[in-house]
């Protein structure tokens, strides 16, 4: 009876071992993670990632200086005319400012793959100011069309300077880009995604 029981146990263990072995051999293997060049291609497909758009407005004043010429008498006449009829314009200018990253030029120097972990360095943040002339409110102006164009260009430059100096807006844009990249990298099988300023050194073998 004891021998029969031992044989039954041995047979059961053999069947279990065979079933486990078959399962391990037949189960689908996890897809291989993409290497760095393939990952660079995937990120480049994102092209220009627009991460944040803000609407702004600004009161702008502009008074162009009289243009100098090669003739002293013309300069005197221009200055006299300028003094009598100084060109000046004031307006409230509206704009949409877009912040984003251009991944189209990304290369493998900005990515490092180590196992299931990927480190990535973001490209420089780009700022694009889109003026809305149709919403511009002229408060008072005797500028001609060329001078009005200069006023709007002055406003555009002011918007761009302010946004580039705004740490909170830049941080919001960065967080948005980080979230987008994490979704992309997780979708292809990576389990750890780090967005860094400088790539860490490669792990030494052994």
The pair of structure tokens assigned to 197 is 């300023």
The pair of structure tokens assigned to 158 is 């002011």
Establish if 100 belongs to a structural domain: yes
Establish if 24 belongs to a structural domain: no
How far is 108 from 171, CA to CA, in rounded Å? 24
The residue range of the domain holding 186 is 34-63+91-196
How far is 178 from 97, CA to CA, in rounded Å? 20
Establish if 10 belongs to a structural domain: no
Per-position pLDDT tens, the chain of length 206: 545 444 544 444 444 445 444 544 454 455 566 677 777 777 777 666 777 899 999 998 887 755 555 554 454 444 444 444 567 888 899 999 999 888 887 888 888 888 889 899 999 999 999 999 889 888 877 788 888 888 889 999 999 999 999 999 999 999 988 988 888 888 888 889 999 999 888 766 55
Q: Which long-range contacts (CB under 8 A, 24 or more apart) does 7-13 make?
A: none
Count of domains observed in the chain: 1
Choose among 164, 163, 166, 156: nearest CA to 93. Answer: 156
What's the whole-model pTM score? 0.66
Name the 3-class secondary structure at 46. Answer: coil
């Amino acid at each position: 009876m004891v021998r029969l029981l031992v044989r039954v146990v041995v047979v059961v263990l053999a069947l279990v071992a065979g079933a486990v072995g078959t399962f391990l051999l037949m189960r689908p293997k996890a897809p291989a993670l993409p290497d760095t060049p393939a990952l660079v291609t995937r990120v480049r497909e994102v092209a220009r990632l627009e991460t944040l758009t803000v609407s702004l407005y600004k009161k702008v004043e502009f008074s162009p200086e009289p243009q100098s010429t090669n003739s002293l008498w013309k300069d005197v006449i221009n200055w006299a005319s300028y003094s009598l009829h100084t060109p000046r314009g004031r307006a409230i200018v509206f704009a949409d400012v877009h912040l984003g990253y251009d991944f189209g030029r990304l290369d493998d120097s900005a990515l490092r793959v180590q196992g299931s972990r990927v480190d990535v360095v973001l490209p420089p943040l780009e700022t694009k100011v889109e003026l809305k002339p149709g919403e511009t409110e002229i408060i008072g102006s005797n500028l001609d069309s060329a001078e009005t164009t200069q006023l709007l260009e002055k406003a555009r430059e002011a918007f761009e300077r302010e946004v580039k100096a705004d740490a909170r807006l830049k941080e919001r844009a960065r967080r948005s880009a980080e979230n987008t990249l994490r979704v992309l990298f997780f979708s292809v099988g990576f389990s750890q995604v780090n967005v860094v300023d400088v790539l860490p050194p490669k792990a030494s073998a052994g």
